[in-house]
Amino acid sequence: MAPSSDWVMIGNNEAIGLKAIAAVSFERFRQAVIEAVAGEARLSALPVWSPGDSGGLRVIAVLSLPQRGELGLLSAALPDRWPSLTPHCPAAHWFEREIAEQWGLTPEGHPWLKPIRFQPCRRHPDGGSRSACAGLTDFFAMAGQESHEVAVGPVHAGIIEPGHFRFLCHGETVYHLEISLGYQHRGIERAMTGGPVPRSVHYMETLAGDTTIGHVTAYSHLLEALAGATVPARGKAIRAIAAELERIANHVGDLGALAGDVGFLPTRDYCGRIRGDVLNMTAAVCGNRFGRGLIRPGRVQWDLDGGLTEDLLARLDAVEKDVTGAVPLMLDTPSVLARLEGTGVVSSETARDIGMVGVAARASGLECHVCAEFPYGIYRLAQLPVNTWTGGDCAARTYVRWFEVQASIDFLRHQLLELPAGPVDRKLSPMAPESLAVSLVEGWRGEICHVAATDRESRFAFYKVVDPSFHNWFGLALALRGQQISDFPLCNKSFSLSYCGHDL
């Protein structure tokens, strides 16, 4: 179903004047979003900002319409209270909670309205509805004999980020898992407002450290769109090379961690090291294992010169050989598969309803992949195959990762062999004033969406980041239903979501 004619269509990495985005009444906005998401559209972002002139707040819906390869925009004035979209559009549930928390507003009839980050309210920074302490909020409760709760975190047993998990159990069975985040909140979006400043690009490189390339690419695309320029082909190719290295490194690391969680130690140990070898390839390109300092708006700061391409190709061959030894070893072992199969199932309907993206969505059979749907940079010329799997269980998420590793290795080899000649940078003119742009990137976890608008002085009026984890944390909660607590590490690893990318 095509969305109603109110929507203004733009392409990925395209800028549009703010005035060109249709503003409708909130009621009409609400209906339009509900209808579009019930059709083919994905709700990619729902930014709210205060334009400053009228004192009121505005909301913009950013839809991705994969079948058209376009993004739909629609805006409205946001009232203090509104009938929640969530009962009719579950994919809006986390967005509405975010808006309620950030701006001190109320989506009435939201089924479970509570903070997602425990951050100060933008309108009343000193008070408002902020909880005294992160994690101090209502949780689901269950009564009856043999029912009990298990609380874990924020400090966990391993070297991982902080988050709080509440398992509602009856006997051995988990009825629901509540995930309470926000411990990593450090005010990135707030600090982006009024930029760009020298720190802006560092916020982007560190908002989710394992996705440095993904987020800084989205940021660079956005600034380039607002400045009306793109980088030369060689620069695009180097960005994609870095992005695929990031994908391979993280997937290999996760495959190793999954092996560890099922107790299959050979693959865990090999993958842990192979991941390091891939990070070291990124370090060979730019000096930093996570790709810090490589990508900037309008350019890449390091070229692949002086025999580096040959060096990377040789290292890639070694990685391919090692990883095709290590991963099938695990996937050919019946006891490993028995542990993965049927554990942590998310059906494709559920995945679609709650708006899941990326690896986890593809493992539930959804064919979503920004590189294919809204191709950008070098992906407009070179295809990265989309791999899906059915089942929606830990096994499916493991397979999708493994297929993607193999596809990325092929893609990378091709890019390294066919690297376009020429410069890697372009001079950027200043950003257009009073304009908005959207940038979608397929990070290794899934769809990354950045939306920004400029004010009259071409400064950021707001900067919105939606990490794939934002869409997927609730999927992990649902995957745990009917499982045992002991399945949690496995399910968690199979989703492998970001805390800091969510908390911002």
Partner 1 sequence: MLKILKTRFQQKYRTLSYPDGPAPEMPLRFAGRPVLDPGCQAGCGACRSACPTGAIMAAPAGGTLSLDTGRCLFCRACEKSCPQGLIRFSRDHGLASATRQGLVIETGAVQTVSARNELAATLFARSLKLRQVSAGGCNACEADCNVLGTPAWDIGRFGIQFVASPRHADGLLVTGPVTDNMRLALEKTYAAVPDPKIVIAVGACAISGGPYAEHAEQHNGASSVVPVDLFIPGCPPHPLTILDGLLKLSGRITAVENS
Q: Which residues bind partner 1 (CB under 8 A)?
A: 118-120, 125, 133-134, 154-155, 157-162, 182-188, 190-191, 197-199, 201-203, 206-210, 212, 266, 269-270, 272-273, 276, 280, 283-290, 292-293, 302, 321-322, 325-326, 329, 332, 498-500
Output the smallest distance, CB 212 to ligand SF4, in A. 9
- For the chain, the C-alpha Rg in angstroms (whole number) is 22
Residue 171 neighbours by CB distance under 10 Å: 10
**Is the Cβ of residue 369 or residue 493 nearer to partner 1 in the bound state?**
493
Output the smallest distance, CB 34 to partner 1, in A. 33
Residue 64 binds: one of ligand SF4, partner 1, none (C-beta under 5 to 8 A by kind): none
Ramachandran bin of 27, using left for φ above 0, alpha for ψ from -120 to 50, beta for the remaining angles: alpha
Output the smallest distance, CB 297 to ligand SF4, in A. 17
Judged by CB under 6 A, does residue 69 bind ligand SF4? Answer: no
Residue 272 binds: one of ligand SF4, partner 1, none (C-beta under 5 to 8 A by kind): partner 1
Separation CA 64–CA 216 (nearest Å):
21
Output the smallest distance, CB 500 to ligand SF4, in A. 8
Judged by CB under 6 A, does residue 50 bind ligand SF4? Answer: no
Output the smallest distance, CB 25 to partner 1, in A. 35
Separation CA 323–CA 58 (nearest Å):
49
Judged by CB under 6 A, does residue 194 bind ligand SF4? Answer: no
Judged by CB under 6 A, does residue 293 bind ligand SF4? Answer: no
**Is the Cβ of residue 119 or residue 350 nearer to partner 1 in the bound state?**
119
Separation CA 214–CA 212 (nearest Å):
6
Q: What angle do CA 70, 72, 77 make, to 5 degrees?
A: 165
Separation CA 373–CA 352 (nearest Å):
16
244, 414 Cβ separation under 8 angstroms = no
Output the smallest distance, CB 497 to ligand SF4, in A. 17
Burial class (CB in 10 A: 0-12, 13-18, 19+), 403: middle
Contact with ligand SF4 (CB under 6 A) among 79, 195, 209, 276: 209
Residue 276 binds: one of partner 1, ligand SF4, none (C-beta under 5 to 8 A by kind): partner 1
Torsion of CA 126, 132, 137, 143, to 10 degrees: -150
